[in-house]
Amino acid sequence: MKIVIDQNIPGYEETFARHGEVLQVDGRKLIGEQLRDAQALIVRSITRVDAALLADSSVRFVGTATIGTDHLDISWLERHGITWACAPGCNADAAAQYTLAMMLLASRRLGFELKECSIGIVGFGNVGSRLCRLLKTWGVVRLTINDPPKAATGQCGLSDLDHIKQCDVVSFHVPLNTAGPFATQGMIGPRFLSCLKPHALLVNTSRGKVTESRALHDWLVSGRGFAALDVFPEEPEIDPGLIAACTVATPHIAGYSLDGKMTGTLMVYRQFCKWLSTPPAENKLLASLEMHALKPDQVQIPADAILASCPVQRDDANLRMVTGMSPAQQSAWFDTLRKDYPRRRDFAGWELPQDVPPAQAAILKNLGFH
């Protein structure tokens, strides 16, 4: 069997390579010719998988080691008998933790206390629900949740967007739906932005096309509000003007923890083995991950520990280096930051020093640190 796999998917040696020949590829530049004699394809969200890519191939299994599937033409795959798989929730802890870190860095730069804010969460799935728990642990008491698909099933405790728009901070954790009653593409547009509370902080770590770039840029430069963005509408083509207008801007790496990546690999691998009707090969991918240690000066203030484990300030500074680059250089730099992203562990992969003050230790352990 020949298995084509994105070069940035870790752990393939202990998993997919046990079942055949593996060809690693650049997922952004993948072409049909590379798949002509392959039976399986494993990708990330940067690869569009549709008829244009697979029509002349022998691929019968497609797996994406990501939570989203908007880059897969699922209806075409199913019509042609191609099994597909994804990894829902694989990096939810990472994305929620990184979102909290983005909020904390933004609060420092803007001069407010996060726990004193009213915070709205749009989308209460794997990431949104985890973020809610983290914020409650942090001490935020005014939380408003919006999730129309869940509300339609009768779930209680949810609010409409009118209530969300009155929050000090609004954070998006939605899939990219281009049509239907729960469409999300472009929902952060002129109408939504015009109704937000003055000087609100908008956070988006979900999908770039949930945002209308020009509308958000104009809203920011007008001084009506602030933004912390990890995703952008036309990645890897990015608008330096929008980045400059953001309080915090990072290169689509909120979910890029090593824990999340390895979990994504394992989730898709298990579905791949189910497709093959063969037991998964034994591996210790997650158990073998090295623990990181926080320094004593990083835990005196709990926010410092969060920003040490989720280095938002470093990622923000790196992305802002696009200033002065040509459009081609900007796109290449965006991809480089993601491709060469340093190893990052979830909170559970960080050990606290022995002499952490009890109050700080309690907060950090409740957040997931060891």
Beta strand pairing call for 248-249 and 21-25: unpaired
Tokens of 185: 């593409």
pLDDT at res. 287: 87
Alpha carbon 136 to chain centroid, angstroms = 21
Ordered DSSP codes for 253-269: -TT--HHHHHHHHHHHH
Q: Where do runs of H (alpha helix) occur along the chain?
A: 51-54, 74-79, 92-110, 126-138, 148-152, 161-164, 190-194, 213-221, 240-245, 258-276, 302-309, 312-319, 327-339, 358-367
Domain assignment present for residue 285? The answer is no
Domain membership flag for residue 24:
yes
So what's the pLDDT on residue 94? 97
For residue 191, the enclosing domain spans 92-238
Q: Do residue 266 and residue 232 come from a single domain?
A: no
Residues 33, 156: one domain? Answer: no
Q: Does 313 fall in a domain?
A: yes
3-state secondary structure of 136: helix
Is residue 282 situated within a structural domain?
Answer: no
Q: Are residues 80 and 99 in the same domain?
A: no
Report the C-alpha gap between 142 and 48 in whole angstroms: 39
pLDDT computed for residue 131 by the predictor? 98
Is residue 12 domain-shared with residue 142, that is, in the same domain?
A: no
Spatial distance between the Cα atoms of 236 and 231, rounded to a whole number of angstroms: 10
* In the block, residue with structure tokens 């202990």: 14
Q: How many domains does the structure of the chain reveal?
A: 3
Active site residues: 207, 235, 252
pLDDT for residue 211: 97
For the stretch 194-208, pLDDT in tens is 999 999 999 999 999
The pLDDT assigned to 288 comes to: 86
Task: Summarize pLDDT for 132-168 with one digit per residue, the tens.
Answer: 999 999 999 999 999 999 999 999 889 999 999 999 9
Give pLDDT, residue 68: 86
Shared domain for 138 and 202, answered yes or no, is yes
127 and 215 in a common domain: yes
Work out the number of other CB atoms within 10 angstroms of the CB of residue 6.
21
Is residue 250 a part of any domain in this protein? no
Shared domain check, 227 and 160 = yes
Residue 248: inside a domain, yes or no? no
Does 233 lie in the same domain as 127? yes
Residue 32 CB-density burial (10 A; 0-12 exposed, 13-18 middle, 19+ buried): middle
Domain boundary among 276, 305, 333: 276
Looking at the fold, whether 97 and 81 belong to one and the same domain comes out as: no
**283 in any annotated domain:** no
Pairing of strands 200-204, 248-249: unpaired
The pLDDT assigned to 72 comes to 96
Token pair 């591996």: residue:
283
H or E segment at 228?
strand 225-229
Q: How high is the pLDDT of residue 284?
A: 87
Between CA 22 and CA 30, with CA 27 as vertex, the angle to 5 degrees is 85
Say whether both 60 and 141 belong to one domain. no
Domain match, 168 and 217 both = yes
Q: What is the CATH number of the domain that holds 321?
A: 3.30.1370
Q: Mind listing the pLDDT tens digit for each residue in 62-84?
A: 999 998 898 999 999 999 999 99
**Domain shared by 139 and 234, yes or no:** yes
- For residues 287-315, one letter each, b for 16 or more C-beta atoms within 10 angstroms of the residue's C-beta and e for the rest, the string is eebeeeebeeebbeebbbbbbbbbbbbeb
Other C-beta atoms lying within 10 Å of the C-beta of residue 81: 7
Alpha-carbon span 298 to 360, nearest angstrom: 11
pLDDT averaged per 10 residues, the chain (length 370): 95 95 95 95 96 95 93 96 96 97 98 97 97 98 96 92 96 94 95 96 97 97 98 95 98 96 96 97 88 94 97 98 95 95 96 93 96
